């Protein structure tokens, strides 16, 4: 039986994370076909199309996995690089500065580059890639983890803006979505006292939710034709 290829196909790395789940729900609500990529894919309640993809390992190559998936489901309308290293939680939190930097760089920076380069040949003519930055990447944030995260996300933003210029002669686009502080699994692991301590350093003193971010990224995909390639999208913190 031939595979029926839906009109809008969304590829999402880091699908099992908080923002990944928020984006999955927002895309499914819009009738999009979602293909989730994860280092350790598990069964999904809505029978999501899940693909194993390790951004750090060389075998199988990231580009090979993406190409094989596109040949099966069709070219991607949008690809969202959500996968990222969690240096705030163990075991990475207790590692050395350089060890945390290396892991963050391999997953967030090199991983985003590998996926982006791998998916471009399998992107629809009007498709887009969305990379994830941070709203404090260029303003900076105090502390070891702020230094490391800002460094990696600034690199992702710079790469995305440059790639957008490279693709100017085509109709394919690149966007950057830069969340603030999000209610992830790490947030849930904190005590109320720890959350109160962090809130002092968060813009507007509020956390963003995965659902809110998922809706915003899905809207970016839906409205991509009217949005300038290379643009950065930063949400205000919820009141």
The CATH superfamily of 9-231 is: NAD(P)-binding Rossmann-like Domain (3.40.50.720)
The model's pTM is 0.89
Residue of 187, 70, 170, 165 lying closest to 119 (CA atoms) = 70
Average pLDDT of 119-133?
A: 98
Residues in the chain: 239
Please say whether the beta carbons of 175 and 233 come within 8 A. yes
Q: What tens digit of pLDDT does each residue of 198-218 get? A: 667 766 667 788 899 999 999
pLDDT at residue 1 tops 70: no
Tokens 């990224």, residue located: 217
Q: What tens digit of pLDDT does each residue of 26-38 get? A: 999 999 999 999 9
Task: Tell me the torsion sign for CA atoms 126, 130, 136, 138.
Answer: negative
What's the confidence (pLDDT) of residue 48?
78
What's the confidence (pLDDT) of residue 3?
47
Average pLDDT of 122-129?
A: 98
What's the confidence (pLDDT) of residue 40?
83
Question: Integer distance in angstroms from the first to the last C-alpha of the chain?
Answer: 51
Q: What tens digit of pLDDT does each residue of 58-102 get? A: 889 999 999 999 999 999 999 999 999 988 878 888 999 999 999
CA-CA-CA-CA dihedral for 190, 191, 194, 199, to nearest 10: 80
Give the span between the Cα atoms of 104 and 52, in whole angstroms: 20
Tell me the backbone φ, ψ of residue 193, rounded to 5 degrees: -65, -40
């Amino acid at each position: 039986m031939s595979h029926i290829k839906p009109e809008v196909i969304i590829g999402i790395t880091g699908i099992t994370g908080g923002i990944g789940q928020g984006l999955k729900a927002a895309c499914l609500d819009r009738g999009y076909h979602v293909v989730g990529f994860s280092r350790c894919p598990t069964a999904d309640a809505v029978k999501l199309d899940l693909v194993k993809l390790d951004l750090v390992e060389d075998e199988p190559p990231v580009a090979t996995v993406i190409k094989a998936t596109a040949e099966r489901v069709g070219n991607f309308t949008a690809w969202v690089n959500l996968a990222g290293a969690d240096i705030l939680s163990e075991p990475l939190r207790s590692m050395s500065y350089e060890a945390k930097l290396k892991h963050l760089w391999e997953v967030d920076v090199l991983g985003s580059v590998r996926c982006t380069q791998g998916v471009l040949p399998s992107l629809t003519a009007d498709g887009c890639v969305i990379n994830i930055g941070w709203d404090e990447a260029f303003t900076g944030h105090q502390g070891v983890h702020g230094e490391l995260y800002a460094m990696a996300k600034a690199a992702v933003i710079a790469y995305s803006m440059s790639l957008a210029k490279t693709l100017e002669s085509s109709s394919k686009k690149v966007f950057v979505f830069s969340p603030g502080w999000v209610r992830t699994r790490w947030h849930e692991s904190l005590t109320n006292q720890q959350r109160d301590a962090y809130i002092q350093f968060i813009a507007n003193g509020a956390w963003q939710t995965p659902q809110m971010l998922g809706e915003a990224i899905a809207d970016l995909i839906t409205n991509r034709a009217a949005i300038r390639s290379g643009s950065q999208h930063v949400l205000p913190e919820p009141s």
